[in-house]
Structure 1
Amino acid sequence: MSKKYISENNPNISKSALYIASTSIAELTACIVRLPFEIIKQKMQVSSEASVKNIINGVLKMQGAQSFLLRSYLVIIIREIPFDCIQYFIWETLKEKGQKCNKKIKLNIKDEIISNLQKLKINIIKKNINYFIFKDFREFYEKHPVIMSSLSGGIAGATAGFLTTPIDVIKSKHIIYGRSYIETIKEISKGGYLSFYKGCLFRTCYLFFGGLIFFGALRLFSFKKDKS
């Protein structure tokens, strides 16, 4: 919705700016609804207080309602906006590149690949040589838009997850220990720059699969909607 509104009112806007602006607006709006639940969830994970009511009362007494909401909002958007901007930008870019790609593999490369594959005793590969090598990539893209959208989303999610891991580490430490961002960064940096990438492998993997499912489902249901 935000992408459509921005493009209609700013026809000369670049695609990069369009993706970033529309994603940021969507995320800022979504965070307004999501932020109290996110912070309460994180407090429950690190607190011995099992009651949601007790956690809310404790936070409000220490910080006040306005401070709690503002701090929570800033903490979430600092992580979510960079992640979503990178993810959606990569996804849209990969989709465009895939749609425009119409290059066939050169004959000498084909011959080399075929000769190497024929040495293997894997029938399933041999049977699909003609399809995967001789067919145009664009044809595959058009026949399987859901698969391509899913793969693009997985790559986008994994890349965005890896690049924003330092932000996620800083955010988590900041919320758990209640220190300022400067103090949190200084504390993490004592362990070296790799400390900012703790958990990056797990984060990258689960966001890859999350991107596969989310963008695959998004394309699937939009495709069905267009058909109907």
Structure 2
Amino acid sequence: MTLEAKTLSSTDFVYWSSLISGGVAGLVVDIVLFPIDTIKTRLQSERGFIRSGGFRGIYKGLAPAAAGSAPTAALFFCTYDGLKSHLGQFATKTQQPYVHMISAASAEIVACLVRVPVEIAKQRRQALSLKYNTSSLEIWLHALKSEGIRRGLYRGFGTTIMREVPFSFIQFPLWEYFKQNWTMVTGTTLTPVSVAICGAVAGGIAAGLTTPLDVAKTRIMLADEIATKTSVYRILRGIYQDRGIKGIFAGFVPRVLWITLGGAIFFGFYDLTTRLLNSDE
């Protein structure tokens, strides 16, 4: 085998490793923590927590979430690891955080191609259970027929990116920084458990700071067609006038809890799966 062939094989393995590890991690997180996500969505709904279902049927919408979690996470990490590896060659040590930010932001945009349609079905099942007491496939078909691709299946795409990109700008540089300094600070080696702790802390911080963007995204995905024409600023201003700062940060506790726990499980399983695949290789 030539050196060129070996290099190609190594590169292919990195992508396959990212796809498999990300898919496993994403699926585990969405299934384990789905009830917390449902509570968060209902707290952010314009109809209010009780009218959106309260604590009833907290697993509604699990099917589309589970089906979409693996490909979404796989696409994200395949893009993130690929760009980080490529761009990192041209950056100095002090420029690495910018590499992580660019890689994470690009990966989020790619992942949203799958994430947004999944979120449409999932959140309508979670918060509009009376109106959408149908399957996820029927919700997608209805959205496609009545609202089209852009306003139906990809409603809130721009808002989701506006939420995910700032979130990634905060989470991934923090995660990478915590990992790089773990041994120096704690005196212990980096294990899947320590990677999980780094992911939990980074995710919790990013989740808290970006909650208002998550509230706006949820409102747009649950709103009728007329409401989708308004801007994020107008939505948040209206929420603030109606409910004050509590409305802007609705669902703060379950969101931070969900992403903190999710970060621990997600990054822990991602690192563990990557190590297992590397050991097999």
TM-score by length of 2: 0.60
Take 1:176 and 1:74, find their aligned partners in 2: how far apart are those partners? Answer: 15
Question: Which of the two has higher C-alpha Rg?
Answer: 1
Structure with the larger RCO, 1 or 2 (CA within 8 Å, 6+ apart): 2
Query: What are the equivalent positions in structure 2 for 1:81-100 lying under 5 Å apart?
Result: 81-100=165-184
Quote the residue 1:115 is aligned against.
Answer: none
Counterpart AA for 1:94: F
Quote the residue 1:222 is aligned against.
Answer: 274
Quote the residue 1:185 is aligned against.
Answer: 236
Alpha-carbon distance change, 66 to 217 in structure 1, aligned in 2, over 3 angstroms: closer
Contact 2:201 2:260 in 1 (8 A): yes
Quote the residue 1:15 is aligned against.
Answer: 96
Quote the residue 2:203 is aligned against.
Answer: 157
Alpha-carbon distance change, 151 to 64 in structure 1, aligned in 2, over 3 angstroms: same
Quote the residue 1:43 is aligned against.
Answer: 124
Counterpart AA for 1:218: Y
Alpha-carbon distance change, 150 to 63 in structure 1, aligned in 2, over 3 angstroms: same
Compute the displacement of 1:167 (Å): 0.8
Alpha-carbon distance change, 62 to 193 in structure 1, aligned in 2, over 3 angstroms: same
The structure 1 residue matched to 2:261, chosen from 189, 198, 209, is 209
Bigger shift: residues 170-179 or 146-155:
170-179
Take 1:182 and 1:202, find their aligned partners in 2: how far apart are those partners? Answer: 23
Contact 1:157 1:208 in 2 (8 A): yes
Quote the residue 1:127 is aligned against.
Answer: none
2:246 maps to 1:194 = yes
- Structural RMSD (CA): 2.3
Q: Give secondary structure in 2 for the equivalent of 1:198.
A: coil
Post-superposition CA distance 1:146-177 (Å, at most 9, x none): 22211111111111111111111111122222
TM-score by length of 1: 0.72
Take 1:192 and 1:66, find their aligned partners in 2: how far apart are those partners? Answer: 31
Q: Give secondary structure in 2 for the equivalent of 1:64.
A: helix
Contact 1:36 1:72 in 2 (8 A): no
Take 1:56 and 1:91, find their aligned partners in 2: how far apart are those partners? Answer: 35
Alpha-carbon distance change, 66 to 176 in structure 1, aligned in 2, over 3 angstroms: closer
Alpha-carbon distance change, 187 to 222 in structure 1, aligned in 2, over 3 angstroms: same
Counterpart AA for 1:23: A
Unmatched segments (≥5 aa) in structure 2: 1-81
Unmatched segments (≥5 aa) in structure 1: 102-136
Query: What are the equivalent positions in structure 2 for 1:3-152 lying under 5 Å apart?
Result: 3-8=84-89, 10-12=90-92, 14-45=95-126, 46=128, 48-49=131-132, 50-52=134-136, 54-101=138-185, 137-138=186-187, 140=188, 142=189, 145-152=191-198
